[in-house]
Amino acid sequence: MAGIMAASGWRHQDEGLSLGAQFRSRFSNTHLMVAVGILVVALAITVGTSIAARSHFRSLSEDEFEHAVLTAAAAIEKSVSEKLVILQSIQGLFATRDDVTRDQFDSFVMLLARDDSAIQALEWIPRIERDALDAYVRRTQAEGFADFALHPAGERDVYFPVDYVFPMDPNRAAFGFDLASNPERLAALNESRDTGKLVATAPITLVQETGSQAGFLVFAPVYRGGGVPSTVAERRDKLAGFGLAVFRVGDFIDNSVPAPSQEEFNLVVFDTLVSDDTKIHAATDAHRGLLEADALLIQRELDVAGRTWVLCFLVPRGFGLGALSQSAWLLILIAGSLVSLLGFGFSFLLLTGRDRAIALAGRMNESLAASESQRDQMFELSQDLIITADAQGNFVFVSEASRRLLGRDPADMVGKPYLDFVHPEDRASVARAAAQVVEGDELTAFDCRFLRADGEAVWLSWNAHWLPGLVFAVGRDVTERREIERMKDEFVATVSHELRTPVTSIKGFLEMLTDDLDASMGEEQRSYLQAAGRNAERMERLVSDLLDLSSLEAGRLAVEPALFDLRSAVNDVLSALQPDLEERTIDVTIEIPEVPTPQAWGDQRRVEQVLTNLLSNAVKYSQPGARIEVVVASDDEGDDPSMLRVEVRDNGIGIPPEAIEHLFEKFYRVDNSSTRSSTGTGLGLAISKALVELLGGRLWVESELGRGSTFSFTLPRGAADAHGPA
């Protein structure tokens, strides 16, 4: 029993087939008593049948059904509120600007609702006065829609034509349709205008409907000057138009309720606020389920932009049974013959349900104002700043969050270059990031400072995306995190600075002590002194790493670039490491071109620091007897011939793939027996990477767990060497 959500089984009430209409035509006269009598008999037979059926059917677990219903109802409710949020964004767009173009509308909407099959269309409906109509039609024709005309034709004081439409193709029939021409649409439109709220229409047949689904529209009013004017008279005067979301009920429900749960019940939706009758809004094609003898029914009420829908979930008892026995078949047949009678009963139930729903709707209307203002508040409280900007770097849209984050009115920012609002020191990096956004279709993330109206800086962490013609970005306030990081860095810098002098002096005194007492010392004392010396050295290394790192991060590390010979740098480092290499019987091979010897441009001391770190890691994280290779070559893989590449290869323990992305973070160490047994701080690679980048190169790693690692970095070639074959 697939609960296919299509209105195919049910027709419009105007065509005389809705349940309510059937009910009224049969019950609103003197036959009422007879009908009630028939109903009682029908019910009695049904009860008898179901009692008999019960012995043949394993009864459906009502709990399961209820659970499925609750889940589906919650999903529909969530979907309704999500779609209304999209509509509110469109309302926001038009409220902040009065010159939104068709292309901008398309880009903006595509962003919100691309591939959203629950939405049939999102539209902009301008208000056009009678005397402005000709100019409006000509303007639209000039936009490339040569045969654009309002339909249906007719003389009216004000027109509300469907103007911007997304997506255009499946909704072309609606383009130019004057919503003021139709009473149901006009009623919702006027209510929305006068209340300033989102208002849904009664169920209607869409202009662009090609199947037989019912549809509904939700209007969001936009007033000149933004906001909602306080009096109805002002609202009527300042109305600029409407954002409009168009839905097909069947598609909407299909999209909201996952297909598997639709297998578990039939769903029929009623709109209870239709003035003259309860109207069926959507139904399954298997509407027999609705009238099935002994069906389980759960009703839920749902607010949809001011209307009350009743969702009726139905399932025949016994659903879920495998092969039915012969007698069960018979019983179903008998029950089937009662379908029409039970129809009365069901209608009756629905009618009383309707009364309750209308009473409830009254109460809901009262609380609507409260809940709407709560929702508005939610938007204002939205933490993130959402913006769009054009390719020239001007804001096209700025969300309300700018008031709180930047102390600025969105309207004061729209149309202006965004760089004007960026901290002067960050403008270059923002311009670079923006260029990257425009070039690629990847999400680009970057942090920068924006200036508040009061001159204070606010750190925003951005995620930006390029949509054809438009930058879309969401910025999160990370000022606090940045401040904490700054304080932490400052603390590390201060502490390490304060430690450096005492550690150096402890080390010096220990050396003196060892020298002076060497002859007179016993074995034990010597070993104490040696241990103290080793620890002092370790501490000195840590302090100097920390100092390097904090100066690198603060951009305070001075390098003194000069031309230097890479071969001699490699040799210097290797001879310093000789004792470690010997201790672990590790062999190093060097592959460096003889002529001409590669000359690099950089700070030799710092390059040696990087080499020392990479080589001592290669030693630390390899088994005794392993091999290390150092290769210097032209950086052929990079496109730049003016770069040299240095590789340090080992066949040691390797690095697990998931650790690679963290390897260059400070204090990161892979957790394995080698790191546990070797001393280290997890700072070496972070420093090396930052140093290489400071010198104009880059550093990266390729590694396979258990087979070894290759750390590579590039450096600019020295000028004298720039054209030599390396």
Q: Bridge-partner residues for 217, per DSSP? A: 246
- What does the block give as tokens for 634? 């032209």
Smaller CB distance to ligand ADP: residue 195 or 681?
681
Q: Does 696 bind ligand ADP (CB under 6 A)?
A: no
Smaller CB distance to ligand ADP: residue 599 or 613?
613
Ordered alpha helix ranges (H), 407-522: 410-413, 427-439, 479-517
**Nearest residue (beta carbon) to ligand ADP:** 680
- What does the block give as tokens for 402? 């700018």
Smaller CB distance to ligand ADP: residue 406 or 618?
618
Q: Does 684 bind ligand ADP (CB under 6 A)?
A: yes
Please state the closest distance from residue 672 (CB atom) to ligand ADP, in A.
Answer: 7
DSSP letter, residue 624: T
Q: Does 709 bind ligand ADP (CB under 6 A)?
A: yes
Smaller CB distance to ligand ADP: residue 304 or 646?
646
**By C-alpha distance, which of 365, 358, 347, 357 is closest to 13?**
347
Using DSSP, state whether 476 is helix, strand or coil: strand
Near ligand ADP by CB under 6 A: residue from 669, 699, 713, 714 = 669
Using DSSP, state whether 203 is helix, strand or coil: coil
- Maximal CA-CA distance, the chain: 127
Near ligand ADP by CB under 6 A: residue from 663, 690, 692, 699 = 663
Q: Does 573 bind ligand ADP (CB under 6 A)?
A: no
Near ligand ADP by CB under 6 A: residue from 675, 698, 705, 724 = 675
Smaller CB distance to ligand ADP: residue 192 or 609?
609
**By C-alpha distance, which of 190, 244, 242 is closest to 221?**
242
Smaller CB distance to ligand ADP: residue 405 or 683?
683
Q: Does 650 bind ligand ADP (CB under 6 A)?
A: yes
Please state the closest distance from residue 82 (CB atom) to ligand ADP, in A.
Answer: 44
Please state the closest distance from residue 680 (CB atom) to ligand ADP, in A.
Answer: 3
Smaller CB distance to ligand ADP: residue 42 or 611?
611
Please state the closest distance from residue 264 (CB atom) to ligand ADP, in A.
Answer: 52
Near ligand ADP by CB under 6 A: residue from 475, 652, 716, 718 = 652
Please state the closest distance from residue 703 (CB atom) to ligand ADP, in A.
Answer: 7
Please state the closest distance from residue 434 (CB atom) to ligand ADP, in A.
Answer: 33
Ordered alpha helix ranges (H), 623-707: 657-660, 673-677, 684-694
Please state the closest distance from residue 664 (CB atom) to ligand ADP, in A.
Answer: 8
Near ligand ADP by CB under 6 A: residue from 681, 694, 696, 700 = 681
Applying CB under 6 A, which part among 204-212, 311-319, 395-403, 666-674 lies near ligand ADP? 666-674
- What does the block give as tokens for 119? 């939405």
Residues between 574 and 613 that touch ligand ADP (CB under 6 A): 613
Core vs surface per residue 292-327: b (16+ CB within 10 A) or e? bbbbbbbbbbebbbbbbbbbbbbbbbbbbeeeeeee
**Distance in angstroms (rounded) separating the CA atoms of residues 648 and 479:** 40
- What does the block give as tokens for 510? 């220990």
**Count of residues that interact with ligand ADP, criterion CB under 6 A:** 22
Applying CB under 6 A, which part among 340-348, 559-567, 647-655, 690-698 lies near ligand ADP? 647-655
Q: Does 3 bind ligand ADP (CB under 6 A)?
A: no
C-beta of residue 647 within 8 angstroms of C-beta of residue 569: no
Applying CB under 6 A, which part among 80-88, 171-179, 575-583, 649-657 lies near ligand ADP? 649-657
Please state the closest distance from residue 610 (CB atom) to ligand ADP, in A.
Answer: 11
Please state the closest distance from residue 556 (CB atom) to ligand ADP, in A.
Answer: 21
Applying CB under 6 A, which part among 121-129, 329-337, 400-408, 683-691 lies near ligand ADP? 683-691
C-beta of residue 404 within 8 angstroms of C-beta of residue 414: no
700-703 long-range contacts, Cβ below 8 Å, gap at least 24?
701/655, 701/660, 701/663, 703/654, 703/655, 703/660
Smaller CB distance to ligand ADP: residue 654 or 716?
654
Q: Does 304 bind ligand ADP (CB under 6 A)?
A: no
C-beta of residue 559 within 8 angstroms of C-beta of residue 603: yes
Applying CB under 6 A, which part among 77-85, 138-146, 228-236, 651-659 lies near ligand ADP? 651-659
Using DSSP, state whether 484 is helix, strand or coil: helix
Applying CB under 6 A, which part among 158-166, 320-328, 392-400, 669-677 lies near ligand ADP? 669-677
Q: Bridge-partner residues for 471, per DSSP? A: 389, 466
Smaller CB distance to ligand ADP: residue 73 or 670?
670
Smaller CB distance to ligand ADP: residue 407 or 680?
680
Residues between 251 and 290 that touch ligand ADP (CB under 6 A): none
Peptide bond into 410 cis (omega under 30): no
Near ligand ADP by CB under 6 A: residue from 283, 653, 692, 726 = 653
Going by C-beta distance under 8 Å and a sequence separation of 6 or more, which residues neighbour residue 426? 448, 449
Please state the closest distance from residue 497 (CB atom) to ligand ADP, in A.
Answer: 21
Applying CB under 6 A, which part among 122-130, 417-425, 456-464, 676-684 lies near ligand ADP? 676-684
C-beta of residue 604 within 8 angstroms of C-beta of residue 684: no
Q: Which amino acid is at 398?
A: V
**Distance in angstroms (rounded) separating the CA atoms of residues 630 and 647:** 6
Using DSSP, state whether 507 is helix, strand or coil: helix
**Distance in angstroms (rounded) separating the CA atoms of residues 156 and 129:** 9
Q: Does 544 bind ligand ADP (CB under 6 A)?
A: no
Pairing of strands 562-565, 239-248: unpaired
Helix, strand and coil content of the chain, in percent to the nearest 5, comes to 50, 20, 30
Near ligand ADP by CB under 6 A: residue from 336, 682, 696, 724 = 682
Give how far the C-alpha of residue 370 lies from the chain's centroid of Cα atoms, to the nearest Å. 28
Residues between 607 and 636 that touch ligand ADP (CB under 6 A): 613, 617-618, 621
Ordered alpha helix ranges (H), 202-248: 232-238
**Distance in angstroms (rounded) separating the CA atoms of residues 271 and 281:** 6
Applying CB under 6 A, which part among 24-32, 131-139, 417-425, 675-683 lies near ligand ADP? 675-683
Pairing of strands 627-634, 587-591: parallel
Q: Does 655 bind ligand ADP (CB under 6 A)?
A: yes
Please state the closest distance from residue 501 (CB atom) to ligand ADP, in A.
Answer: 24
Using DSSP, state whether 98 is helix, strand or coil: coil
Instruction: For 456-468, give the secondary structure using H, E and C.
Output: CEEEEEEEEEEEC
Near ligand ADP by CB under 6 A: residue from 84, 198, 685, 726 = 685
C-beta of residue 114 within 8 angstroms of C-beta of residue 405: no
Q: For binding to ligand ADP (CB under 6 A), which residues are involved?
A: 613, 617-618, 621, 650, 652-655, 663, 668-670, 675, 680-686, 709
